Amino acid sequence: MKVVIIGGVAGGATAAARLRRLDEEAEIVVFERSGYISYANCGLPYYIGGVIEDPEDLTLQTPERFYRRFRVDMRVRHEVTALHPERKTVSVKNLDAGEEFEESYDKLLLSPGAQPAQPRLPGVGLEKVFTLRTVEDTLRIKDYIDNHRPKSAVLAGGGFIGLELAENLRGLGMEVTIVQRPRQLMPPFDPDMAAFIHAEARRHGVKLALGRTVEGFAERDGGVDVLLKDEAPLHADMVALAIGVVPDTALAKEAGLELGLKGSIVVNGRMETSVPDIYAVGDAVQVKHYVTGQDAVISLAGPANRQGRIAADNICGGDSRYSGSQGSSVVKAFDLTAASTGVNETNARKAGLDADAVVLSPMSHAGYYPGGKVMTMKVVFEKGTYRLLGAQIVGYEGVDKRIDVLAAAIHANMTAIQLKDLDLAYAPPYSSAKDPVNMAGFLVENLAEGVVKQFRLEDVDALPRDGSVTLLDVRTPAEYGRGYVEGFRNIPVDELRERLGELEAGKPVYVMCQSGLRSYIACRVLAGHGFEAYNFSGGFRFYDAVRNDRRLIEQAAACGMDRP
C-alpha cells in the first residue's frame, strides 16, 4: 500500500507516524510546501519575543529524524499543485529544483491546514505588513524587528495569535495597538469574560481599538498607516495581520471534493472525503461541534492530531471514528491564563439552545494557604436538562486544570449538577476541599432545586428603582464605600437578621455582595423569614469589571482610541 500525505505539521505528521506503527510495509510519502514538516505553531509568537531563543526549538521533527525513526519519505519544499482522483495521482512541484512530476497513491490524505485570512484590502502586500502562520513568517518578522528596531506595531486581530503576539511585542518594549472589528478580544469567550482579558491587556500598556474596521494600509513617514472606516488612521512602524485563518482547500475544490463551511472539506466520522480513498484532517476540514451537533470549522492542534490518528487507523483497515470537536483552548495573556471549552453562552443561544450560566469567583487553592489567587469561572448549561454546555475561566494558578476537568465532563455528557460529585484531588497548596469545579455544581444544584434564585448582569439596569423592590448590598461598609451599584442600599450580611425590620415585607429583594457567596447566605436568611430573594451571579467584582470595560469601549468609540 502506498499512502501520499499532503501537508505535515499536526495532522499529516501524526498520521504518517501512526501509519508506520500500524503497517511496517506501507510506502509513505509526505509532501510539505514549507521547509518544515512539523513545527509548533503556538510557539511562534514566543520566538519573536525572545522567550524561545533557539529557532530549532520550534521544529518538532526534521525530515532526517523522521525518516530514521519511521522510514517515511518526507519531502519539504514540495508543493502539490493538483489532485487527479480519476487516475490516483497528484501533481507535484519541487520548489527548489523547479521540476514537476506526478506521484501515484493507493490512499491519499489531505492535511493542507489553514492559511491566514488575507483581506482584499489596499496595501496588504506592503513590506512592513506581515502575517504570522508559519516558521518562515516568524523568521521574517523576527529578522525585521532585529534589523529595524521598530518602536510600534498595530495588530489587526485579537484572537490567540494576536493576543500572544501583543504580549511578546510589549516585552520587546514596543507600543502595541490591537484593532478588532468585534467589540471584544478572544471570540471563544463571552463579552463579560473577555472584559478581564481586556483589563489585563490595558494594564500592560496595550491599546485596544475594538469595534473598528480596517480598510487598508498605506506607507507613510517610514511606517504604515492602518486605514480605518470613518476614523483617522493609526500609524505604526509595522503591522501584523492576525485576523484569523481560512481552510486552504483550493486543491480539493479543483478536484471536485465536496466542500462545506468556509470552503472546508466535508468528511465523515472516519475522516473520509466525498471521493473514495481520499481522507482529510486538520484545520481544513468541517467537523461536528461536540456540544451543538452543528457543522463547524475548529482550527486547533489537538483535534488535528486526533484526526490524523483516526485517518491512519482507517487507512490501515480499522474503524476509528471522530466524535467531534468542542474547542477546548487555553491562552496566556500576560500574567493571566484564560481558558474555555464547549460553547459560550452567546453561541449556545445562537445555536438555539436555552442556555443559562452561573458565575463564581473561587480561590485557586485553600484560602488559608499563602499565595492563593481569585479566578473567575463561568459555567454554561441548558435550562431544564442542566446539560453542561461550556465553561470559561480567567485567572492565574489552576485555570488550566479546572478547564480540563470541565472539558472531560462535557465529553462524558455530564450535567452541570453532577460536577458537585466529582472526586477531585485536594491539598492546601493546590485546591480546596470543595474544588471550584464542585462549587459550580453546588450553585447549579441550588438553582435546580429552588434553594436560590439568581439575577444576572444583564438584569441589573432593568431593576426598578421606584421602591417596588428592595435592592440590597450585603458587603461591609468599607467595601460598599469603595463602589456600589446605584439604588442598592447597604446592610452587611452579619447584621441582616437584626435589621430585617428595615426591609418592607412582601417586596422581592435583590441581593449583591463582592463574589456571590455572602449574598447567597443573605438570600437564605431572607427566605427563612418569608422574603422572596434573588442572588446576583458573579458579585460586585464581576459587575464592576464588566461595566468598567464597557465604559472604556464606549469612551474609545466616542473619542477615537482606548487607553491602557
Q: Which three cell numbers stand for residue 90?
A: 497528484
Q: Are 373 and 337 in contact (CB under 8 A)?
A: no
Answer for the pair 538, 457: CB distance below 8 angstroms, yes or no: yes
Hey, which residues does 116 pair with through a beta bridge?
A: 245
Do residues 318 and 52 touch, judged by C-beta distance below 8 A?
Answer: no
Do the beta carbons of residue 444 and residue 385 sit within 8 Å?
no
Cβ pair 321, 288 in contact under 8 A? no
Nearest to 373 by CA among 385, 362, 357: 362
Q: What's the sign of the alpha-carbon dihedral 343, 345, 351, 355?
A: positive
Burial of 254 (0-12, 13-18, 19+ CB in 10 A): exposed
- Residue 153: closest CA among 124, 174, 126, 171: 174
| Sequence-separated (6 or more) residues with CB below 8 Å from residue 438 | 419, 420, 422, 424
Query: What is residue 136's predicted lDDT score, i.e. its pLDDT?
Result: 85
pLDDT means per 10 residues in the chain (564 residues)?
A: 92 94 96 82 86 79 87 95 97 96 98 81 90 87 95 94 95 96 94 97 96 93 93 95 87 96 96 97 95 92 93 97 95 96 97 97 90 95 98 96 98 97 95 94 97 97 95 98 97 98 96 96 97 97 96 82 57
Residue 523 annotated to the active site? no
Q: Say whether pTM exceeds 0.95.
A: no
How far from the centroid of its chain's Cα atoms is residue 544's Cα? 24
Contact of 398 with 407, CB cutoff 8 Å: no
- Of 400, 39, 333, 397, nearest to 168 by C-alpha is 333
Alpha helices in 217-295 (DSSP H): 250-254
Q: Is 225 left (phi over 0), alpha (psi -120 to 50) or beta?
A: beta
Q: What are phi and psi of 506, to 5 degrees?
A: 90, -10
Q: Are 226 and 179 in contact (CB under 8 A)?
A: yes
Return d(Cα 266, Cα 257) in angstroms, integer.
8
